[in-house]
Chain A
């Protein structure tokens, strides 16, 4: 039920606060999504979408953190082996 998928905001369709909506692309498949709950989202942003609503804007810098953590883990692992 809590399935939610990331998509890219492509084009705004409605700017009224409650029905703020946009075309959001999910790997090329476009759907009309309500963006009222992520007023900070702009075109080009990725948002997490659940039952037709964007519930969070993806933070690109934070998204990269896991890969920096992985590098650190790799280095630690190598040190441990040596």
Chain B
């Protein structure tokens, strides 16, 4: 496939690998923010193309992993109601709530449907005027415009039976939280390329200056990730702290303006609870009051007692790059993809799922 295969050629990868080794004089710790990048790194074994002194640690960029237990329990409660068709991206179906996951709600008779696009949920609402359709609108900035469009179209089509359970996260506040932690050991960031297709990267300049940390907007193919590392190491070795764009073919500095305008109309910035991390100011999106008719949490008056997250999953430490999956006592033992204790073992972007699938260390 064009724009895929040419970024996976071994000769090119080795050339970049040699250049990274040539310019590296000291140990560096770099975090890739997005779970999609984590998967590419583990799947293609990209760490082996880096000198031992360059360590990649995995970041918080997996919305499935950071969606709070309260919201997941709300999803279960909605999905179990007989009048509701509950629509979700596939990644969410196996994420454990306090007691069960969406697939087990479906097995017990709940009408849970997997959708590829939020527009599929809007279509379902049009096709089923006598049922309530609730879409589980999760994601980062990459997914937010698509979810915003679903709400916008539903309003335009005057759909009264469509609503969204919103769990949206913004990436820059999470990066800032990691930078400002006392025990932070991350020295450079590979920013999430697809998030930046929407947002652009102007907002990262202040972050790079404040924390004296290079930020390189990076793509997802093996060659992209390695070039991102090269650009980051080059800055670190030269004592530069700025924002660079490796993913030039898809990302412009100003981002996608029509997408930003749509987001502005539908959503507003709010505080948000990150599973395993806690509440972060200005780190989420919620529907504006003009769209409150499409807010499932209001429509169905959802109030659930806040649940205790005591599965033993150390997702917070995994998501902030403090620990790697192999350091978790449950990894590969009582936490596996078919029986996960937490979301990082479920999601196609979770670090634990990636390690389990592609890179399992020997387990005693």
**Residues in B neighbouring A39, C-beta threshold 8 A:** 258
Instruction: Tell yes or no: A73 within 8 A of B by CB.
Output: yes
**Residues in A neighbouring B145, C-beta threshold 8 A:** 37, 53, 55
A-B contact number at CB 8 A: 135
Chain B residues numbered 247-264 whose CB sits less than 8 Å from any CB in chain A: 248-251, 256, 258-259, 262
Which residues of A come within 8 Å of B, CB atoms? Answer: 1-6, 8, 18-19, 26-27, 34, 36-39, 46, 48, 50-53, 55-56, 58-60, 62-63, 65-67, 69-70, 73-74, 76-77, 80
**Residues in B neighbouring A34, C-beta threshold 8 A:** 117, 119, 146, 149
Given known A-B contacts A1-B347, A58-B250, A36 and B149 have beta carbons under 8 A apart:
yes
Residue with the highest number of chain A CB atoms closer than 10 Å, among B1, B16, B62, B251 = B1
**Interface of B (DSSP majority class):** helix
Instruction: Tell yes or no: B110 within 8 A of A by CB.
Output: no
Closest to A71 in B: B15
Judge whether B249 and A59 touch: CB under 8 Å.
yes
Closest to A80 in B: B22
Judge whether B227 and A66 touch: CB under 8 Å.
yes
Contacts beyond the supplied A2-B35, A52-B117: 5 A-B pairs with Cβ under 8 Å:
A1-B89, A6-B1, A6-B2, A70-B15, A77-B15
Instruction: Tell yes or no: B24 within 8 A of A by CB.
Output: no
Closest to A48 in B: B250
**Residues in B neighbouring A46, C-beta threshold 8 A:** 2-3
Top 3 nearest A-B pairs (CB, nearest first) are A52-B117, A63-B249, A62-B248
Instruction: Tell yes or no: B291 within 8 A of A by CB.
Output: no
**Residues in B neighbouring A65, C-beta threshold 8 A:** 248-249
Q: Distance in Å from the Cβ of A10 to the closest Cβ of chain B?
A: 13
Report how far A76 CA is from B6 CA in the complex, Å. Answer: 22
Stretch from B125-133, B134-142, B173-181 that touches the partner: B134-142
Chain B residues numbered 1-46 whose CB sits less than 8 Å from any CB in chain A: 1-4, 6-7, 12, 15-16, 18-19, 22, 34-36
Closest to A29 in B: B1
Report how far A66 CA is from B219 CA in the complex, Å. Answer: 12
